[in-house]
Structure 1
Amino acid sequence: MAISTLSLCFADGEVLLADGLTEANISIHDGRIAGRAARHVDATGYLILPGIIDLHGDGFEHHMAPRRGAQSDPALGLRAVEAELASNGITTAMLAQFFSWEGGMRGPDFAEVLAGAVKDGHAATDLHVQLRLETSVADQFDRARALIARENIRYVVLNDHLPHSALAAGKRPPRLTGQALKSGRSPEAHHALLQRLHDAMPQALQALAGLTADLRAQGVHIGSHDDATAEDRARHRAFGATIAEFPETRAAAEAAVAAGEPVIMGAPNVVRGGSHDKKVSAEALIADGLVRALVSDYHYPSLHRAALKLWDAGMPLQDAWGLISAGPAGVMGWGDRGCLCPGRRADLVVMSEKTRRIEGVFCAGRVTHLTGELALRMVQ
């Protein structure tokens, strides 16, 4: 069923353009930023900002499994996810879904279920799947390749969460029992699986090179997760991973930027004032021009909160908000969103200037969130 789009003009608000905030009118019509509209809405007292683009968020997981083992209907879970995304100004979201040996909600079975639900869900928010591929699961690479093609997944991130140090030393890995319970395996079976995957890593990496070459030829973006060193970045670059997601150190971030590769950091890192596990500060990297985009990571509200925090600290709003709009659009090569330019998709966030509460969100000209005084003005 088609979802109707609006034709209206937000009048006399503060609109964020390329050179900053300016008092202006902005119209949306037929799903695009337009020069005309059927009716006017008084936007005095509101900031009108580009819709937020989130390239990596796993906050959806708690909607899919409110309690451990209690998975909900994916379609119902996605409705709750979409409501949370919209209320936080996110108009394009990539759900960061594992394809991993960890099993459960991080296993291939659930990845296939989620991707199918996203494709068939008809959400008003623009939802995508980012596949977080564990590099050790070579026996599942053909299955991953088929999933990526079938569901048109455009962004794959390489992960390696195997506890290699413990496995190489013949020791019991940390947190083994908890991981085993989540996966539905006995601790002994889980340990044996990890050891087998560790021992077969040379063969897995050979297979990975072929897989990523195929994916890049199909236009799939490849990123790497948690590079700790410049050498890590170079190693992943050799597999075609040209996006550095959550580098753990300044050296890894600088190596990416020197090679012309975008660096993505977590917005919660900015909001908290640093990494929760003592890794490099996102705010420090941003100050030095090393970050192209912020993502929600595990907390959707952190995206707009991080941009506003940077603005309060003296960063021009167009640059701070650009980290959650134009920046991520550029990373993915999306030329139809990320700014409030004529002809672009009508993705807007309408925020109270006084309270900084998001009261209206529009994706391709469709209402995805509406509340407060703005709702009253729009229905009058």
Structure 2
Amino acid sequence: MKEQILSNARLVLDEQVVNGSLVLRDGRIADIAEGPSRLPGAEDCGGDYLMPGLIELHTDNMEKYFQPRPKVAWPQRSAAMAHDAQMAASGITTVFDALSIGDIDDSGIRIEILQQMCDALTGLASQGLARIDHRLHLRCELCHPDTLTRFLALADHPKLGLVSLMDHAPGQRQFTDIAHYRTYYKGKYRLSDEGIEAFIVQRQADSARYSDSHRQRIAEESRVRGLSLASHDDATEAHIEESHAHGCRLAEFPTTLEAARAARRKGLAVIMGAPNIIRGGSHSGNVAARELMRAGLLDVLSSDYYPASLLDAVFAIARSEGGYDLPRAVGCATHTPAEAVGLHDRGRLAAGLRGDLLRVAEVDGQPLLRRVWSAGNVVH
């Protein structure tokens, strides 16, 4: 048996932090005890925290490695392994890699490289190259004409575990304020005044034509397959009612306090961006994650576009006066997301669960990641 004994650590449990020791054996947590271990070979953690590995449900980080610059496609194995390494170095031991189906930018290559990214995930796992556990999250841009066709082509992928329903058309949800939309996309795609106006008209037309029917069908196909379903950018109580009716278990990035409260009433876990916590607000001008935290409505944290933000945000909200102590803050990035997608073998420090662990020191209030274990193996 392969065994590691970690002693003199502050163990972050569900509801408390205790000084103790932990035994890893054959890739799982074998035992947890209070107090230091007296067994030979025990590793002294020097009072550092031991906590579960982080679970990331929504990050488009892998797309950035496959397309590091506009029109540039990177070799798929190299891109996937570099992404995998960054996830491990950020303390993320389970990641649902969010890949876009459909794109609001017709000139982009997201659609072209979609199959490459799916193949790369499968290859990393089958060849034993992955440091951590990768799953697939399909982000379905409902207003794209080909979204349904592409979703059905990937709906039975063995790595698929999460589907989100998105509509980024201007004038609703994330971009209720068209002025914010105009500023954001004019800069992102370097459009002229005439170009951005034509862009807005086309996106609104596509949304009116495709979004409702695509939302209904993709939700149905996801339920049939037992896939976890998430809404995206809900702004109103009516949006939450619709999401709940479709069987959504997660409300990703609600844009208003009203929507977050409605999600809580309907039993949807509210997921917010860790960068929103670190930056102090939304880059789109929507509700701040800290406001939802102070209202007790923050359930899940996601690194979104910046992997290292997840661990930083956990400690940031634990230091704040929002009612989230360290165990509750850690839970937002471990057992709560695990439960939301039906993973019951990880996300806690408990005997019998996967040996996904982080050893973390705290230096001047900043978390310092010293070591990462994935299924009992040191991966960082």
* Alignment TM-score > 0.5, same fold: yes
Structure 2: how far apart are the matches of 1:97 and 1:38? 46
Residue 260 (structure 1) shift: 1.0
Superposed CA offset, 1:355-377 (max 9, x none): 631010011111110xxxxxxxx
Q: Look up the SS of the partner of 2:61 in the other structure.
A: coil
Among candidates 74, 77, 80, match of residue 78 of structure 1 = 80
Matched, 1:323 2:332: yes
Tell me which amino acid in the other structure corresponds to 1:22.
Answer: V
Superposed CA offset, 1:6-55 (max 9, x none): 52011111111223221111011111001399942111231111100111
Matched, 1:125 2:121: no
| Contact 1:104–1:110 (CA under 8 A) maintained in structure 2 | no
Tell me which residue corresponds to 1:357: 368
Structure 2: how far apart are the matches of 1:233 and 1:19? 30
Superposed CA offset, 1:338-368 (max 9, x none): 1110000000000124463101001111111
Which ranges in structure 1 are unaligned for 5 or more consecutive residues? Answer: 166-172, 370-380
Structure 1: how far apart are the matches of 2:139 and 2:150? 14
Matched, 1:59 2:55: no
Tell me which amino acid in the other structure corresponds to 1:259.
Answer: K
Structure 2: how far apart are the matches of 1:141 and 1:70? 26
Among candidates 92, 95, 116, match of residue 93 of structure 1 = 95
Residue 242 (structure 1) shift: 3.3
Q: Look up the SS of the partner of 2:42 in the other structure.
A: strand
| Contact 2:248–2:268 (CA under 8 A) maintained in structure 1 | no
> Residue 23 and residue 131 in structure 1: after superposition, are their counterparts in 2 closer, same or farther (change >3 A)?
same
Structure 1: how far apart are the matches of 2:330 and 2:268? 20
Structure 2: how far apart are the matches of 1:177 and 1:342? 51
| Contact 2:3–2:23 (CA under 8 A) maintained in structure 1 | yes
Structure 2: how far apart are the matches of 1:177 and 1:301? 25
Which ranges in structure 2 are unaligned for 5 or more consecutive residues? Answer: 33-38, 173-180
Matched, 1:286 2:272: no
Structure 1: how far apart are the matches of 2:56 and 2:229? 16
Tell me which residue corresponds to 1:366: 377
Task: Give the % identical residues.
Answer: 31
> Residue 195 and residue 348 in structure 1: after superposition, are their counterparts in 2 closer, same or farther (change >3 A)?
closer
Residue 79 (structure 1) shift: 1.3
Structure 1: how far apart are the matches of 2:203 and 2:6? 56
Matched, 1:13 2:13: no
Matched, 1:271 2:282: no
Structure 1: how far apart are the matches of 2:313 and 2:196? 40
| Contact 2:142–2:207 (CA under 8 A) maintained in structure 1 | no
Q: Look up the SS of the partner of 2:155 in the other structure.
A: helix
| Contact 2:5–2:23 (CA under 8 A) maintained in structure 1 | yes
Structure 2: how far apart are the matches of 1:309 and 1:249? 22
Among candidates 236, 240, 248, match of residue 233 of structure 1 = 240
Matched, 1:243 2:250: yes
Residue 247 (structure 1) shift: 0.3
Structure 2: how far apart are the matches of 1:194 and 1:280? 24
Cα root mean square deviation, aligned: 2.8
Tell me which residue corresponds to 1:110: 113
TM-score of the pair, normalised by structure 2: 0.84
- The more displaced of 48-57 and 305-314 is 305-314
Tell me which residue corresponds to 1:40: 42
Structure 2: how far apart are the matches of 1:70 and 1:322? 38
Tell me which residue corresponds to 2:22: 26
| Contact 1:9–1:41 (CA under 8 A) maintained in structure 2 | yes
Tell me which residue corresponds to 1:169: none
Tell me which amino acid in the other structure corresponds to 1:96.
Answer: A
- The more displaced of 329-338 and 105-114 is 105-114
| Contact 1:115–1:151 (CA under 8 A) maintained in structure 2 | no
Structure 2: how far apart are the matches of 1:86 and 1:57? 14
- The more displaced of 357-366 and 141-150 is 141-150
Structure 1: how far apart are the matches of 2:58 and 2:139? 10
* Number of aligned positions between the proteins: 352
| Contact 2:140–2:164 (CA under 8 A) maintained in structure 1 | yes
> Residue 114 and residue 189 in structure 1: after superposition, are their counterparts in 2 closer, same or farther (change >3 A)?
farther
| Contact 1:164–1:198 (CA under 8 A) maintained in structure 2 | no
Structure 2: how far apart are the matches of 1:6 and 1:65? 39
Tell me which residue corresponds to 2:304: 297
| Contact 1:105–1:111 (CA under 8 A) maintained in structure 2 | no
Tell me which amino acid in the other structure corresponds to 1:338.
Answer: G
| Contact 1:47–1:352 (CA under 8 A) maintained in structure 2 | yes
Superposed CA offset, 1:116-159 (max 9, x none): 11111131211122111011235441331121213441111111
Among candidates 200, 215, 236, match of residue 209 of structure 2 = 200
Residue 104 (structure 1) shift: 6.1
- The more displaced of 5-14 and 290-299 is 5-14
TM-score of the pair, normalised by structure 1: 0.84
| Contact 2:165–2:215 (CA under 8 A) maintained in structure 1 | no
> Residue 22 and residue 223 in structure 1: after superposition, are their counterparts in 2 closer, same or farther (change >3 A)?
same
